[in-house]
Structure formats: C-alpha cells, structure tokens
Amino acid sequence: MGCQLSDPEINDLVDLILKDYEDDRTVNKIDICNQPNKEAITEIVDKLMNILFPGYYSGKVYKIYSLKNNMSAAIEDAVFHIKKQVSIVLKYTDKNDELSEQEFDEKAKEITLSFMRKIPEIRAILETDIEAAYEGDPAADSKDEIVFSYPGFYAISVYRIAHELSLLKVPIIPRMMTEHAHSITGIDIHPGATIGKFFFIDHGTGIVIGETTIIGEHVKIYQGVTLGGISTSGGQRLHGKKRHPTIGNNVTIYSGASILGGETVIGDNVVVGGNTFIINSVEKGTRVSAKKQELKFKSNE
C-alpha cells in the first residue's frame, strides 16, 4: 500500500493543473455550456440519417407505429437538438458578437428550419448517388446493399447534410459531421466542397476532397485519391481562396491519383489513371496515365 499517493500529493497535483487553466490559451476553454458537444453532433447525424432513409436507420422502437408518427417524432427530435447546437456555435462568429441570447436563439431557429426544409432536396440528390453507385459497381447486388453497407455512400450522405449547413454559414458543426464520417470510413470530404449529382466513391479509404474543390456530375472516384492544394505554406492568408481543383462532368479518377491546385481544371469526360500526379489542367476527353513502372524479379534460389 506504500505506493498510494497521499492526500497532500493529490491536492498539489489538482492545484497545479487547475492553475494552468487560468490563462486564455485555446486549450483552456472550460465553459462547457457554450461549446458544441461532439457526442450530440454525432447523435444528430444519426437522427438525420434516420430521416433521410426511413426503414434503413430507424430504431426498433419506431417500427410498431405508422410512418407519419415515426417521422413526426424523429423530425421534432432532430429540430430540437440541431437548434440547440447551432445556437451555441453561432457565438463563434465575430458577426454575431452583439447578439442577445434571445437573438441567438431566434437565428438558430431560422437556420434550423431552413436546413430541415432542404431535406427533400438532399434526398433527391442522394437518390442519384445511389443510382451512380449501383450502375458503377458490378459487385453491388442491390441498391439496399449500397445504403446499408457502402462506406463511400455513407460519407457522401453525411457530406450532403454538412454541406447544406455550411451554405447556411453554420460554423464548426459541418466539419464535426464530416470528420465523424471520416473517422468511420477513412474518407475526408470537406463540407465546403461543391459536389454535383450522381457522385460515386468506390471503396473509398484514403480519399481527400479539399474545401474549395468543385466536382461536376457523374464523377467516379476510387480509393486513395487526393483532390488537394499544392501548398499550405501561406497559412491563413489562403483562407477563402480557391486552393483545390475543379473536376468536370463524367470524369473517372482511379486509385492513388493526386490532383492539386486551385487553378487545375480537369475537363469533361477525362479518365485519370492510378498513381498519377497532376498540377496542370487537362483538356476534355483526355486519358491521363503514369508511365508504367519497370518491375524486376530476382530468384530466391
């Protein structure tokens, strides 16, 4: 028992660490009532997936009731929690410095209702993404399989949600949502990216799509693709500037390709081969491939 810490030793440690909380460093935010809750945001994603795909994500408790009753309860629940978290994060925006608590609450309500009214549009776009996955993957036995099990489709679904919140100028929450999807799927899509209909991510692990990326319609991307910036050495001076590529319509990008730079434009109907590195624009209808590597074989005998 001689290895136990004494009360004075414990008290000294507590005092030491509490004193370290007293300055204004970023790591010292301890006002838990005025910070977004990561667990709550994750739960909101789950609630919204239930609304987007009734029958796929609904909890067992809902299934004994009618669809209207199910969705009425789910929508009301989602609205309450979204509004609560939006009200908190609005305080992170300088433009809102002078708003009262009542004004924060009213603005959060307006944003939440505007977002929820977009649900039918989000669902319509996701239907095209399901179609793209089904038509683009011969391994898919059904569209249900895509919704239930494809990590690429899950990442796209969360992105579609987060992107609408981003368009409504909601800080922090959209990125928390897409990073949640990133942690599950290995697919990193910034909520600020603009992505057209019929988008298909095949396999998906290791994909990165940067904030200012623009992607057209009927685009197919394989695992390990990066749509990124050439350099981030400019730091915050680059904030808000076009740093990531533009991808046209009917483009296929194979695994391991890196397409970088805000001025890089990949034209319509381009096929980008695996393990390519592109920092210049590519004209429409082009096939891009890396020079075949020379393989050497040496006997172990």
Taking the domains of the chain in order of start, what are their residue ranges?
34-185, 193-291
- At 214 the pLDDT is 98
181 vs 190: CA distance, rounded Å:
11
Q: What percent of the chain has pLDDT over 90?
A: 68
3-state SS class at 40: helix
Positive or negative: CA dihedral 258, 262, 267, 269: positive
- At 233 the pLDDT is 63
- At 221 the pLDDT is 98
The answer for residues whose C-beta is within 8 angstroms of residue 261's C-beta and 6 or more apart is 229, 230, 243, 244, 245, 279
In the CATH scheme, what is the code of domain 193-291?
Answer: 2.160.10.10
3-state SS class at 33: helix
238 vs 12: CA distance, rounded Å:
45
| 287-288/200-202 β-pairing | unpaired
Fold of the 34-185 domain = serine acetyltransferase, domain 1 (1.10.3130)
Q: Which residue has the higher pLDDT, 54 or 147?
A: 147
- At 22 the pLDDT is 79
**Mean pLDDT (whole number) for 198-205:** 96
205 in Cβ contact with 187 (< 8 Å): yes
Q: Which pLDDT band, with edges at 50, 70 and 90, does 58 fall under?
A: low
195 vs 158: CA distance, rounded Å:
13
The separation between the first and the last C-alpha atoms of the chain, rounded to the nearest angstrom, is 61
**Mean pLDDT (whole number) for 16-35:** 72
299 in Cβ contact with 281 (< 8 Å): no
- Tell me the residue ranges of DSSP E strands in 110-245: 188-189, 194-195, 200-202, 208-209, 214-215, 220-222, 226-228
pLDDT digits (tens, 9 = 90+) for 229-249: 987 666 777 777 899 999 999
Strands of the sheet containing 265-266, edge to edge, are: 194-195, 214-215, 246-247, 265-266
83 in Cβ contact with 40 (< 8 Å): no
47 in Cβ contact with 77 (< 8 Å): yes
Q: Which pLDDT band, with edges at 50, 70 and 90, does 296 fall under?
A: confident
CA 279 to chain CA mean position, Å: 24
